[in-house]
Amino acid sequence: MHFMRYITSQSNKSIPVGATDMHNCFGQVRHMRGLVSRGFAVVGRGGRCHRSTGFKRAFSTSFSWQDSPLVDRSMCKDATLVWNDLQVMQDVLTLDEERLLADEAAALLRRRRYEVNHWDQVIVNFKEMETVKWSQGTVLRTQFQIHIPVGSLSSRIEAADILARVRTLPILPQDLEYFPPVHVIDLAEAGYIKPHVDSIKFSGQVVAGLNLLSPAVMRFQEEHGDNRIDLLLPRRSFYCMRGGVRYRYTHEILPGVQHFQGQPVERPRRISIMIRDVFVDL
């Protein structure tokens, strides 16, 4: 069973835009679905497209773990957690952009073998590296044998530009200093990530990740308590943890066929791109 994409209107205030004006207002018509799912536009009566005028205000809470349909919070009664301790956004990339980043990551890791154990015993069956090296040309590699026509959106956009845009997403605090390299983890189908809390040696206030190639269930378990949160990460989603979830909850990627709210979630190979801020000792 595949989960349907949740699309939520970001504002009831909108400016009608005629179908013939879509190209001028939003770019190519084929990208309208992505704009809707990201909250930059909404579809009204009769299929007419409306530009959202209140999305900046709506961004403040619409991705919160407290009300996101991607979060199972039925096992969490922790009143100390606040709305932005865990946030998630869907469809932050187009399908072409996901393929481009996945190809780039696979090329960077192509000489590495899947490792059985991580140096701190947290990850099983994985490849990883930290890198700032992303393509600056327009030729898309075909590690996954996916053909993208020359001149398409993906063939013109550099991977570095995509990641730069990801760093500006509204759930990522903009007042922190982030490491220039990103942490790329290629997790095999049989791989998994054990429960852990990221060390402040490698992350500061924020741990954020881009989920590519397959859906996954991330579980957050209170380290010294019984509260638990399950987060469904669709392909091309982006999550950010901070505060109580960052420091007092372990997080893990479950092995095998996973379940979210009673429904199976198949997770084949998964690539994640992690963004972390610099720890500042106050």
* Residue 36: strand, helix, or coil: helix
For residue 199, how many other CB atoms are within 10 A of its CB? 9
The two tokens of residue 34 are 């992505």
Q: Identify which of 67, 64, 35 has the alpha carbon closest to the alpha carbon of residue 49.
A: 35
Task: Quickly name the fold that domain 71-276 has.
Answer: Jelly Rolls (2.60.120)
pLDDT score at 110: 93
pLDDT band at 138; cut points 50, 70, 90: very low
Q: What is the pLDDT of residue 144?
A: 38
State the Cα–Cα distance between residues 14 and 24, nearest whole angstrom: 17
Amino acid, res. 9? S
Instruction: Give the Cα separation of 272 and 211 in Å (integer).
Output: 5
pLDDT at 253 over 90: yes
d(CA 98, CA 271): 10
**Per-residue model confidence (pLDDT) at position 61:** 53
Q: What is the CA radius of gyration of the chain?
A: 19
Distance in angstroms (rounded) separating the CA atoms of residues 131 and 71:
30
pLDDT at 158: 87
Which of 28-32, 65-69, 139-143, 196-200 has the highest average model confidence (pLDDT)? 65-69
Report residue 191 as tokens.
């791989």
Residues of the chain with CATH 2.60.120.590: 71-276
Per the document, the length of the chain is 282
CA distances from 276 to 36, 127, 168, 181, 207 (A): 28, 18, 13, 9, 5
Taking residues 14-19, report their average pLDDT: 34
% of the chain exceeding 90 in pLDDT = 61
pLDDT at 197 over 80: yes
Residue 208 in this model has a pLDDT that exceeds 90: yes
Query: Is 70 exceeded by the pLDDT of residue 218?
Result: yes
223 has a pLDDT exceeding 90: yes
Q: Phi and psi at residue 90, in whole multiples of 5°? A: -100, 155
pLDDT of residue 280: 84
Q: Which of 206, 195, 2 lies closest to 86, judged by CA? A: 206
